[in-house]
Structure 1
């Protein structure tokens, strides 16, 4: 077959958005703000001339999912007729143009429904690219030259913090030492269990789930806090520490519930339990509050990023010392490409990236491997939430509390039971 025919066969010929919703067991997924979630995926499904398909998605919690799907159908139009290799060779520019659509940008910019839609679209493009090359995402990224990798990124508005030259130099600086970090592919990437500590769970259920997680090899656990009854938070936190033991790593997540005075009081009270971090302790847009809180609660650290929507805000938080653990999420930023941009910013600031897994760990299991090998990030751990495992074609394989390295081509986002008549 000629090269021309090969290229024609990988031209994107169809884009469909799917509104996929999944009910959860009672209490699962609940926190101080999101009390009754329905895990929902706004799915972008791509088809090519040779019948290949690819999937990307962003996570929502229910009724708003349809809005994201509508935005996908509007924003994804420039993909039609594009050959995947040619598209990805300039994806940073393509992403910038899509995100700056003159009408849709008014609804953001670079946040909310339209940015979630761009995440779904972007992740589908990476899935198709990796499948076309027959490799998993982590290998695709590691195989790219520094200039090729940076061409995937939209670095606009970052010129004062991360220029194109800076990004290329940072990647190149880690090139010669990659072999030292390759053993992570055999060892797997350690996980921590969030599913033990949802807000609606009664105390005994938290104890039982923590014991089960420990039996499965987990040694790090997260508890939801931010109850209207502060004594409940203190009691449950003490219970988790006692159940997990002094050697375990524990974290507390307020999901933005506290104002600054409450956050200061509660963080001081909970600090005696030696948590690794306090996550989303107050409103995610309140940079000043994060700066003040970080100075008050030291040496306990702040984790944030689940609701920091774009690279520019991450730049500001990092520059201000307002976070210590960078919880970038490829299903809430503008997809894999903006996740990589934030990872570069964090690496330059010498801060760890510990993703929030709005993807249930499916895509991020690839990205943490790339961050470790390709960018030299230290090994931390990856959040584990198993609620949607049964809906993926290749669910993340976690054994002994460790994510095993995925081998299937793509980004591990293929879903079962997409509506057949539209696929």
Structure 2
């Protein structure tokens, strides 16, 4: 008896079977090189593209789900290679059993760990399974999960990078607010902290007192610099100070969180529930910023959301707003979603922003489909439709 035949006889409750998985490695070029503090401190080169791993899962009943993960700078080919190895293990499975399938895929590649590139590869498959499940129900993903709201506060990051002059950042902020986005985040963490403070002051004066305003140091301060500069930043009435320290310095973040009135936000660079739990356990974060594609998908994100809610933490998922607007809408405590316009060329649909909030659409699942341009940017592709 084949693996597929065994699966078919294992349960009378099976609703459908996975027939095929298509994986695509798509490189999104950015219009201009992007620089945050990591470039100015010499740790990275300007970013010119983003590598995406897309998974399209089709069932015998003709349903389709799409999911994605991504890598900025290195790592995209590794994600694609790992997904290519484990995807055959989905063929013949019931796509509704998402938690079990996540565990199966993790154990298929257990020798390379339960975080990092391996689980980021699984994330694309996991997101596609959730998209498929919501489409089967005829519901937006947020409604399948159980939404607390039909719109989410949103703030923009893509207009506040350090490669642009402060005048350009202010112009970007004006256009962003006019488009219906509610808050503005800019990058800090320059080698010259005085220049950081000058830029923050200029933007706050430009925005006025009523506009939500955040800053992001991208892990470029040591503990003493973070404490000194963050105390100076308190006067600007910020919603949060993001990644003031190395992502794994839970103790240092905890010291800041205890010492400052301004909230500390971090978590986007972590790639597992266990890593986030250490931040939560030590009281190192006021606003958790998990990234579903980085932590292994929606299945793992939901575990983190439960832990965060238990501690009454704020939530502001990182990047990938097409996924995170649904997850934020299902979080009990009023969250934030990060608005990035970089991904617009990949999808036919647009998320609506109005009155400072990002609106859920009524489209089933994630509510997105790939553009022809996205498919033209495909650099590798594999179609899996039979068990190993």
TM-score by length of 1: 0.80
Alignment root-mean-square deviation, CA: 2.3
Structure with greater proportional strand content: 2
Aligned to 1:21, what secondary structure does the other structure show?
strand
- Match for residue 288 of structure 1? 251
Shift of 1:301: 1.5
Where do 1:173-252 residues align within 5 Å?
Answer: 181=148, 184-185=149-150, 188-252=151-215
Aligned to 1:282, what secondary structure does the other structure show?
coil
For residues 231 and 111 of structure 1, do their structure 2 counterparts lie closer, same or farther at Cα, with a shift above 3 Å needed?
A: same
- 1:366 equivalent to 2:322? Answer no
Residues in 2 aligned to 1:295 and 1:244: alpha-carbon distance in whole angstroms: 28
- Match for residue 37 of structure 2? 32
Whether the 8 Å contact between 2:347 and 2:368 is mirrored in structure 1 is: yes
Where do 1:66-145 residues align within 5 Å?
Answer: 66-85=77-96, 88=97, 91-101=98-108, 104-107=109-112, 109-142=113-146
User: Where in structure 1 are there 5+ consecutive unaligned residues?
Assistant: 143-177, 372-376
Whether the 8 Å contact between 2:55 and 2:128 is mirrored in structure 1 is: yes
Shift of 1:214: 2.5
- Match for residue 302 of structure 2? 340
Whether the 8 Å contact between 2:216 and 2:241 is mirrored in structure 1 is: yes
Residues in 2 aligned to 1:246 and 1:399: alpha-carbon distance in whole angstroms: 20
Aligned to 1:95, what secondary structure does the other structure show?
helix
Find runs of 4+ consecutive structure 1 residues off by over 4 angstroms: 6-9, 419-423
Point out which structure has higher relative CO (alpha carbons under 8 A, 6+ apart).
2
User: Where in structure 2 are there 5+ consecutive unaligned residues?
Assistant: 1-8, 39-43, 384-388
Residues in 2 aligned to 1:201 and 1:392: alpha-carbon distance in whole angstroms: 26
- 1:265 equivalent to 2:228? Answer yes
For residues 125 and 223 of structure 1, do their structure 2 counterparts lie closer, same or farther at Cα, with a shift above 3 Å needed?
A: same
- 1:21 equivalent to 2:27? Answer yes
Aligned to 1:362, what secondary structure does the other structure show?
helix
TM-score by length of 2: 0.87
- Match for residue 60 of structure 2? 49
- Match for residue 336 of structure 2? 381
Shift of 1:120: 1.0
Whether the 8 Å contact between 1:366 and 1:406 is mirrored in structure 2 is: no
Aligned to 2:127, what secondary structure does the other structure show?
helix
Out of 392, 395, 398, the residue aligned to residue 347 of structure 2 is: 392
For residues 397 and 216 of structure 1, do their structure 2 counterparts lie closer, same or farther at Cα, with a shift above 3 Å needed?
A: closer
